[in-house]
Amino acid sequence: MTTSPGRQRAAIQLAARRLGLTVIAEATDLGVSARQASPFDRPGLSHWLRHPGEYSHIIWSHVDRAVRSVQHMSQLIEWGETHGITFVFVMPEEPNPIVAPPFADGSVIRQCMDLAYAAEREAHAISARLTGAHEALRAAGRYGGGLVPFGYRKAPHPSGMGWCLEPDPETAVIVRAVVADVHAGLSLVAIAHKLETAGVLVPRDRHAQLQGRPTGGQRHGRSFDRFRWTAGSLSKILRTPALMGHRVHGGQTVRRDDGSPVLIGLPLLTEHEFLELRSLLDTRSNGKQPKSRETSLLIGIAHCAGCQGRMYFAARKAYAYGDYVCRASARGTTCTSQAGMRATWLEEYTIRRYRDARPTEAAVTREQLLRDGVRVTVTKGSRGGGPERLAGPDTSRLTFTIGGLAPQ
């Protein structure tokens, strides 16, 4: 168990007292990498960044707790200037914290950018060392840590050095039952519902339970006591070569120089059984499922009013346009009022409302909308109606906010 959160909290509280500030809330994003996720994409912190009118300062224990890239620091400073927020970086190794008010002088900005650059270089170096270590472990067939493939558990390596994986009696039987259900014709959605009803923990929660940690956590800005099975999570489990006892990296089998697979333990499925299962799954999907646009403008911005979940782009067969739709079932949740709207209508509406609030001639990007805390909520429409339904969006179904507030 890490003691870092406690040390950071103590440093922040001490700095707040010295500066005469009152701490009104904490944003804790355990398990979220500052190198990979910008401050605006972290579940806990992003909530407060969307409500800048409720505070005057943000305090971090160190620059690398805020950002680990020069780009993210630049975005953060620009946001602070826009919203009048002062940043404080405690920096325990220094006698005084770094205080960066809105429109701080050049020396403070340069200091923040230099520290962000140093954090970025350090993050790259750590990543390179870990990559090299894990490559050596993969070549030796040893378990290098992280989430154990579903159906397996840790076991001492036969060499007496380190760990490998072996079938887990409790979850291996579940994997085999799922495979039998697929062969019996059940859909992955139906199997996921069956696992939910039986109270089977998803791999992430199962791993947390074995580590003595609480299940659930944050996802898409929402808190869950435990995560749910979905067709997508099942598909990943059933398609991984780890079921044959293979060491896997990037979804592919790790092979020796002679082409043979590196083994992590006894297989749950023979190669014939695995290939037969994958062929069956491929036949059902038939390779014809419409792909989502890689650059959908409103991912993370458009939300369903029925469940407050994100809406995603879905292509329409035989139509030139697609829709933003509620995907509650794919998340393993239920929405009694699933919303949907034509993508071009919703995007044009959002851009128009955004330009009204933030006049600009430049192209509006998803990153820009997320940074400014734009949120569009869509309520479920009614069936039927006349030709007017084809004229454009029913704006009475739409709620637009920016930074947590409705524009005047």
Residue-wise pLDDT tens digits, 8-30: 888 888 888 888 998 888 887 76
Answer yes or no: is pLDDT of 114 > 90: no
How many of the other CB atoms lie within 10 Å of CB of 116?
A: 23
pLDDT > 80? residue 110: yes
Cα–Cα distance, 267 to 254 (Å, whole number)? 15
Q: How far apart are CA 349 and CA 343, in angstroms?
A: 10
- Which structure tokens are listed for 135? 């490559």
> Residue 217: which region, alpha, beta or left (left: phi > 0; alpha: psi -120 to 50)?
left
SS3 167: strand
Q: Give Cα separations from 295 to 256, 299, 350 (angstroms).
A: 38, 9, 16
C-alpha to C-alpha distance for 194 and 180, rounded to whole angstroms: 13
The pLDDT of residue 381 is 82
pLDDT at 377 over 90: yes
Q: How far apart are CA 49 and CA 29, in angstroms?
A: 14
Q: What pLDDT sits at residue 159?
A: 66
Res 391 pLDDT > 50: yes
Q: In the prediction, which pLDDT does 385 show?
A: 54
pLDDT digits (tens, 9 = 90+) for 172-202: 999 999 999 888 888 888 888 889 888 999 9
Q: Contact at 8 Å (CB) between 375 and 328?
A: no
Q: What is the tens place of the pLDDT at every residue in 392-402?
A: 788 889 999 98
Rg (CA), the chain: 25
Residue 222 gets the label, from left (phi > 0), alpha (psi -120 to 50) or beta, of beta
Is the predicted pLDDT of residue 225 greater than 50, yes or no? yes
Q: Which of 147-151, 303-307, 359-363 has the highest mean pLDDT?
A: 303-307
> In the chain, what percentage of residues exceed pLDDT 90?
12
How far, in Å, CA of 317 to CA of 294, rounded? 17
Helices (H), 141-202: 169-183, 188-198
Query: Is pTM, for the whole model, over 0.75?
Result: no
Give me the pLDDT at residue 408, please: 56
